[in-house]
Amino acid sequence: MPHSKLSPSASERWINCPISVHLCEGFEDTRSVYAAEGTLAHKLGELKILNELTNTSVENNEFMKIVKNKLYDSEMEIHASEYLERVRAVFNETNIPYLATEIKVDLSEWLGSNSFGTADCIIASPGVLHVFDFKYGKNVEVKAENNSQMRLYALGAAEMFDPIYGIETVITHIIQPRMNNFSSETIELKELRNWAETVVKPAATAALTATGDAHKGNWCTFCLAKPVCREYGREYENPPGRDDPHKLSNQEIAYRISKLEGIDTYLKTLKEFALSEVLSGKEVPGYKAVEGRSNRSWSDQKKAFEKAIESGVERSALYEEKPLTLAKVEKLMGKSDFNNILGEFVIKPQGKPTLVKDSDKRSPFKRKSAKEAFKNVDFSQIEFSSK
């Protein structure tokens, strides 16, 4: 197999759509801010695990370096501790556990030479291997079941520890505390190796040799090739047909909604790509780049305000006092204090009816009675105006 450019984290995409690897070439991944926050949370989680569950004594200044980072906050502390506690629970139940963090596993046998992955944490023991992944994202829920990234880490780790521990069973764990999402998958090593031979290897070969067709699915979400991918844009090519020359039926409306959902995002993706093409000097017929609108801003607000005050403007007129949003007050106080101290003042009005797919987990909309909607409101504290 040729030199690899396949990563376990993108494996769901390239296993299902091997050609995406070729189509993504030349696109730059710009999601580094989120990555930086996740990296810091991982570092904190790792230090906590090393400190509590191994003989490594972590210097206090290692923790302080994290605490001083501008991306650190109390939420990160809570979630990294949750990661530690989940690992600790498995560690305490395991017979003769060997624990390692940030362990680099070799995947060259399946993904091509020089392919590696890093498992956040593993616990090896006679016959059983646990592999943990701490997910810090809060938008997309990740499941352990059939999770190719986890399986690849498990595969690489099992090859390392099998000669020592005689691994038969592998248990992968996803710990995603920001979404209160925790799951695991138990798989026999034999089955895992079979999956690697029959699913991973053929997909990796197709990906590295740029063969096969594009396949659209959930894995497209993070694919950088979306703007140029013909398969991804195919459903927007042909407008839905007509059953009646004048009036749309509900079936047709449902069909159109299902086809047009996501078109805003698709349009935005295409426009961003076309703009980058035009800016790099390429032609996109019928389009050009112009200077967009911009808002005025102070070059030095402090000095400007001092000058305004000197000229007679009242200082208080230059500033407005704004209350923090409910979410920010909750973050400031922490969830538990917020609920204990301010919970009685929080009301949650019924949301507006929203159209979603049948498959949505929420129950169908039911209008609340006025009594139910205002049950937390103390009307004796409200002044009613006769105007």
Question: Shortest distance, CB of residue 197 to ligand SF4, whole angstroms?
Answer: 23
17 near ligand SF4 (CB under 6 A): yes
151 near ligand SF4 (CB under 6 A): no
269 near ligand SF4 (CB under 6 A): no
Question: Shortest distance, CB of residue 91 to ligand SF4, whole angstroms?
Answer: 38
Kindly tell me which of 160 and 203 has the beta carbon lying closer to ligand SF4.
203
6 near ligand SF4 (CB under 6 A): no
66 in Cβ contact with 44 (< 8 Å)? yes
Q: Which of 4, 11, 20, 172 binds ligand SF4 (CB under 6 A)?
A: 20
Kindly tell me which of 217 and 343 has the beta carbon lying closer to ligand SF4.
217
22 near ligand SF4 (CB under 6 A): no
Kindly tell me which of 138 and 216 has the beta carbon lying closer to ligand SF4.
216
Contacts of 252 (CB under 8 A, 6+ apart): 240, 242, 243
For the segment 232-261, give every residue that binds ligand SF4 (CB under 6 A). Answer: 232
How far apart CA 214 and CA 205 sit, in angstroms, is 15
Please state whether 288 falls in left (phi above 0), alpha (psi between -120 and 50) or beta: beta
21 near ligand SF4 (CB under 6 A): no
Q: Which amino acid is at 225?
A: A
Tokens describing residue 68: 């001083």
* Cα radius of gyration (the chain): 27
Question: Shortest distance, CB of residue 219 to ligand SF4, whole angstroms?
Answer: 5
**Which of 53, 54, 64, 55 minimizes the C-alpha distance to 86?**
53
Question: Shortest distance, CB of residue 231 to ligand SF4, whole angstroms?
Answer: 4
Tokens describing residue 138: 């809060």
Kindly tell me which of 218 and 350 has the beta carbon lying closer to ligand SF4.
218
169 in Cβ contact with 129 (< 8 Å)? yes
For the segment 215-234, give every residue that binds ligand SF4 (CB under 6 A). Answer: 215-216, 219-220, 223, 225-226, 229, 231-232
**Which of 350, 343, 339 minimizes the C-alpha distance to 374?**
350
Q: Is 49 exposed, middle or buried (0-12, 13-18, 19+ CB in 10 A)?
A: buried
How far apart CA 52 and CA 274 sit, in angstroms, is 51
23 near ligand SF4 (CB under 6 A): yes
How many residues of this chain interact with ligand SF4, rule: CB under 6 A? 15
Segment interacting with ligand SF4, rule: CB under 6 A, options 13-21, 59-67, 104-112, 134-142? 13-21
Question: Shortest distance, CB of residue 176 to ligand SF4, whole angstroms?
Answer: 23
DSSP state of 218: G
How far apart CA 132 and CA 82 sit, in angstroms, is 13
Site residues (vs ligand SF4, CB under 6 A): 13, 17, 20, 23, 214-216, 219-220, 223, 225-226, 229, 231-232
